[in-house]
Amino acid sequence: MIALVLAALMQAGTPAAQEAEIIVPGPAKPSAQTPATMVLEPVAMFIAACDEDGDGRTDRAELSACVDRSFRLVDTGGTGRMRYLIFADWAQRFLGDRNALPSPFEVDRNSDDMVGLDELQAHFAKLYSRFHKDGGEGISRAELLTFRTAPIDAQGPTRPAERGRKPKGETGRSRWKD
């Protein structure tokens, strides 16, 4: 029995047994990313892509030519009009999503269930006026940005509690004095 104890002590004294245990930590918990406060609408991204000369600004002529070119790429029959499903294909290809705004209902001014090139050009002329804020030559990239001003946390936009609803953690007592 003494021999067993001596053997155990000798084995414990070896350098391999005295080395510290290696611990491999797991992956770190993902940290919540701060939501963007500056965003680019799909239609603004399209307008920025219409900058043909690369000067960082899109003027009316560039936008009109770009809308015409994009329309003709989808209007393979050359009719000058596209039904709403074809408009959705246009939106998918040039705005990034079939449901991106503007919607065909918004663009179709004569309610014939088709979007014509003239209607699309008229709508983009309105959008040009909406985005063109600084009065310079063309629309700059800065003018195309949308700034979110609503309070945002890791779960997304927050808003004040509706009257009559209690925010989380609040007691039954009223905050408002009658």
pLDDT value at residue 178: 47
Q: Give this prediction's pTM.
A: 0.66
- Kindly tell me the sign of the dihedral angle through the C-alpha atoms of 95, 98, 101, 103: positive
pLDDT value at residue 10: 65
Q: Strands 156-157 and 81-83, how do they pair?
A: unpaired
pLDDT value at residue 149: 72
Whether 119 maps to a domain, the answer reads: yes
Whether 174 maps to a domain, the answer reads: no
Q: Domain count of the chain? A: 1
CATH code, domain carrying 91? 1.10.238.10
pLDDT in tens, the chain (178 residues): 676 655 666 666 655 555 788 887 777 666 666 667 788 899 999 999 999 999 999 999 999 999 999 999 999 999 999 999 999 999 999 999 999 999 999 999 999 999 999 999 999 999 999 999 988 899 999 999 988 776 656 666 666 555 555 555 545 554 555 4
Whether 105 maps to a domain, the answer reads: yes
SS3 letters across the chain: CHHHHHHHHHHHCCHHHHCCCCCCCCCCCCCCCCCCCEEECHHHHHHHHCCCCCCCEECHHHHHHHHHHHHHHHCCCCCCEEEHHHHHHHHHHHHCCCCCCCCHHHHCCCCCCEEEHHHHHHHHHHHHHHHCCCCCCCEEHHHHEEECCCCEECCEECCCCCCCCCCCCCCCCCCCCC
User: What range does the domain containing 143 cover?
Assistant: 48-149
Whether 3 maps to a domain, the answer reads: no
Whether 58 maps to a domain, the answer reads: yes
Q: Which of 55, 59, 57 is closest to 124 using CA atoms?
A: 59
Residues ≥6 apart with Cβ < 8 Å to 36: 148
Whether 80 maps to a domain, the answer reads: yes
Distance CA 25, CA 135 (A): 57
Whether 39 maps to a domain, the answer reads: no
Whether 100 maps to a domain, the answer reads: yes
Buried b (16+ CB within 10 A) or exposed e, 96-127: eeeebebebeebbeeeeebbbbebbeebbeeb
